[in-house]
Amino acid sequence: MKAAVLTGKMKMEIQELAVPAPLDHEVIVKVKACGICGTDQHIYHGQPGSAEVQFPIVLGHELSGEVVQVGEQVTQFSVGDRVSIDPNIYCGQCDFCRGNRAHLCDNLQAVGVTRNGGMGEYCAVPAAKCYTLPAELSYEEGAMIEPLGCVLHGFNQIKVWPGASVLIIGGGYIGLMMLQVVKMYGASPIVVSEPDVTKHGLAIQLGGTEAVNPEELDGKDGFDVVIECVGRKESMTQAVNMAKKGGTVLLFGVSAPDTKIEVQPFDIFSKELTIKGSFINPHTHDLAISLVQQEKIQIKPLLSHQFTMDELPEIMKEYQSLKVIKGIIHHS
């Protein structure tokens, strides 16, 4: 099979690999669509993913496809089934797994991070991490269930109520999905801060009250909830500063490990702020599929770029300059 293999920092090449054989509890998925995530870019540039990465690796943890082979112990899926993949694999034995916090697993593995993923034509996946993709959903939507699941977990970390004022910092793919979720729960107003003005119209189309440049926030009052979806020092600092008294800040964007921000503890004390983090997507995949199936969440307007596997070495090198909301890889 053909695969885009990351052989080292910023070194990706197209290779021919053997089609994997399934273990007893696994299925082999012929990948139909795979998203390019910010985490893929982090790994490409030598930063950590959700778990430790060892080269060579085939990236791609946002994926969907067709089951083409099943392991001997697999009974819930058959050849020909359409599936969406939850890539995160938990050990089930560490204190976090046994304490109902499996996503913090000490031995976390992930398709497309610690084992080969969707940037290859075929992928071995534990059957327990496959979810039936309803017939009315496209493979592209199926690949996007994983990041929506991450957004839903982040949303579960905070409290949003009808009439809550919400600031979303970052109008990229994650910010625009987060916008739709908080809109669904009745937040108003919802302000999206995004420096790329070409994304402002889409933010309004998807339910935002207002889309502004980051510097335009300086004159605004604080917000009940601030959701940071960028992961940069300046935007995380601004997120804390823009929370009103009693407010909540969700730091959702993935920063570089060495990023540091300056906050004034007195502000956290005097405003009685709640600051939360969010890591991956525990037990949200079914809900994410349901929301897209019910058309509560729109994914297709966010799919801005389509790529082939052969383009990936160059695309991954230039990705940050392409102004992509979400890029999808299609395998022939």
Q: Where are the domains of the chain?
A: 2-149+281-330, 158-277
pLDDT tens digit string along 76-117?
A: 999 999 999 999 999 999 999 999 999 999 999 999 999 999
Q: What is the mean pLDDT of residues 22-28?
A: 98
Which residues face 62 on adjacent strands?
35
Helix 173-184 to helix 145-156 angle (10° resolution) is 50
State how far the Cα of 59 lies from the Cα of 168, in Å rounded to an integer: 28
What does the block give as tokens for 56? 């060579």
CATH number of 158-277: 3.40.50.720
Phi, psi at 236, each rounded to 5°: -70, -40
Looking up tokens 């009808």 gives: 162
The predicted-structure confidence for 216-239, as pLDDT tens digits, reads as follows: 998 789 999 999 999 999 999 999
Q: Is the pLDDT of residue 332 over 70?
A: no
- pLDDT, mean of residues 282-304: 97
Cis ω for the linkage preceding 56 (within 30 of 0): yes
Indicate the average pLDDT of the chain.
Answer: 96
pLDDT above 90 (res 50): no
Is 162 within 8 Å of 117 (Cβ atoms)?
Answer: no
**According to the model, what pLDDT value does residue 303 have?**
97
pTM: 0.96
CATH 3.30.1490.20 fits 2-149+281-330, yes or no: no
Looking at residue 129, the DSSP 8-state letter turns out to be G
> Is residue 331's pLDDT more than 90?
no
Say what the pLDDT of residue 161 is. 97
Q: Which of 241, 237, 210, 242 is nearest to 223 (CA)?
A: 242
At residue 219, the pLDDT reads 78
For the chain, the residue count is 332
For 239-261, the pLDDT digits (tens) are: 999 999 999 999 999 998 999 99
The pLDDT > 70 percentage for the chain reads 100
Least confident piece of the model among 151-160, 179-188, 253-262: 253-262
For residue 137, list its beta bridge partners: none
Tokens 């392409």: give the residue.
Answer: 322
Same fold yes or no, 2-149+281-330 and 158-277: no
Distance between CA atoms of 269 and 176, rounded to whole angstroms?
31
Q: Name the amino acid, one letter, at 40.
A: D
- The DSSP secondary structure of 277-290, one letter per residue, reads E--S-TT-HHHHHH
Using the predicted structure, report yes or no on whether residue 290 has a pLDDT greater than 80. yes
pLDDT value of position 220: 85
Query: 3-state DSSP call for residue 209?
Result: coil
The answer on pLDDT for 21 being more than 90 is: yes
> Mean of the pLDDT values across residues 129-156?
98
Pair of tokens at residue 230: 């960028």
Confidence at residue 49, expressed as pLDDT on a 0 to 100 scale: 86
- β-bridge mates for residue 226, sequence order: 167, 249
Dihedral angle computed from the Cα positions of residues 87, 88, 91 and 97, in that order, rounded to the nearest 10 degrees: -150
